[in-house]
Amino acid sequence: MDIKSFSRILFAFLFFSLISIDSFSQENTQAIRQAAASTVTIKISGPTGNKFATGFFIGKNLIVSNFHFFKDATAASCIGDEAAKSYEIPGSLAEDDISDLILLKVNGLESASLKIAVGQPVVSESVFITSRIMGSTQTAEGSLNGFRDKGGVKQMQIGAAVSEEQGGAPVLNQAGELVGVSIGSGTPGKRDHLAIPVSYLLQLLNNKSDSVLTFAELNADPEAEALADLSRDAPVEVTAVDYKNNILPNEVIIFRGKNSTSEYPGKTDSTGKFSLKLPAGDDYEIFILGFKDSTSYNILKIPALGKKEFYKKSFKVEVKFQPPQTFVLDDVNFNTGKATLMPESFPVIDELVKYLLRKDDERIEIGGHTDNVGSAPANLKLSLERANTVRDYLLSKGIEPSRVTAKGYGSTKPVSENKTKEGKAMNRRTEVTILN
């Protein structure tokens, strides 16, 4: 393009901008000017030369644009109000090819963030699209004609005369609040404009990374030697807390694939966290390992990857549950009227040993309970002897004495009526109570 042609285009942009803003009401003009102050021109360098797009501020040093502009980018910079000065964009903090959104970090340039609208716009509502190309602000007014689904993404269909180069521009309601992000023309030459609803941008913001992904990394060839060793498994970061958000250390959490049936366990550290990797393309049922059994908690879906795709960011899973404070040692039985363990008791107590070795921060009480057969003093004495028998067995397996106490309750705490054989059997029990 020669200088004369470029000048005519630039003049047309400026003229359009002035005519557009002056044609709106005073209230709308103020909202447009506020939006214009938050938009920037982005210059993108790549193998085929330079191209330009619009972006806008959504946070300090953080701007939004369309992902497709940066697929082959080698470098990028942006221009704010000072048309002669450019600011480096080192790379991406989050991106999504499906919704065509990208969050870019910019060095040295700051501006006010656009206010995000609370609700979704309704069909026939008037909207504004404010863009900045070659340093010139352009504003187009249109109305929301409807929505369409493309690849699982709900796109806004707007009747407005906006060019493809205005992709990445903010779409605003009458109050100047952000309701969407422009992705350009739906049908070239027609008043048919497309935008991504702001709800997809909020999802992207929630997945924002703390580290910048450079354009070289963003556009690296997955088959290149530098990426040959990348795992196609999905990194998963797990946190376990109780219902009061207290961290839960030494909890074993198992991920079991529904398709593969393979199990992937992890154990939380002193901060209540652990990390693991799970093969892509499966739904994982999450189990919390307790004493002798496990409780199903939730499902984690890990989508399948394309041929040249890798997971760059971790899935974050918060497991929130309340560990039981008391549980019964089923099948721990004693000879009638004695504190001698019967053979079927030992496998159960061995499971308790494994539990205590895993939960090495816990102290427990072994509580002995009887039915109401016999005198109360005799039952109290027998229950304490039985509790001490279990405690002695635990100590013989290496459990620290300071972690286990024994107490006899006799028949003072029945869990069923003593009128039936079944009720009496339920009352004759050995309980474990977590003390800390």
Output the pLDDT for position 11: 36
Neighbour count for residue 189 (Cβ, 10 Å): 7
CB of 383 closer than 8 Å to CB of 410: yes
d(CA 128, CA 415): 69
Output the pLDDT for position 184: 79
- State which H helix or E strand residue 379 sits in: helix 376-396
* Alpha helices (H) along 214-344: 215-218
Output the pLDDT for position 305: 82
Output the pLDDT for position 313: 86
Both tokens of 212, joined, read 């910048």
d(CA 182, CA 169): 5
d(CA 168, CA 132): 10
Cα-atom radius of gyration of the chain, to the nearest Å?
Answer: 33
CB of 188 closer than 8 Å to CB of 195: no
Output the pLDDT for position 12: 35
How long a stretch of residues is the chain? 436
Helix 26-37 vs helix 3-22: angle between axes, to the nearest 10 degrees? Answer: 140
Neighbour count for residue 387 (Cβ, 10 Å): 24
Output the pLDDT for position 6: 38
Output the pLDDT for position 19: 32
Query: Domains along the chain?
Result: 3-206 (2.40.10.120), 228-320 (2.60.40.1120), 326-434 (3.30.1330.60)
Neighbour count for residue 289 (Cβ, 10 Å): 16
Tens place of pLDDT per residue across the chain (436 aa): 444 443 443 333 333 333 333 444 555 677 777 788 889 999 999 988 888 889 999 988 899 999 999 988 999 998 876 666 889 999 999 999 999 999 999 998 888 889 899 888 889 999 988 888 766 778 888 899 999 988 889 999 998 876 666 789 999 998 889 999 999 776 665 677 899 999 999 999 988 888 899 998 888 765 554 444 556 789 999 999 999 999 999 999 999 999 988 999 999 999 999 999 999 999 999 999 888 777 788 899 999 887 667 887 899 999 998 888 999 999 999 999 999 999 999 999 999 999 999 888 899 999 999 999 999 999 999 999 999 999 999 999 999 999 999 999 999 999 999 999 999 999 999 999 999 7
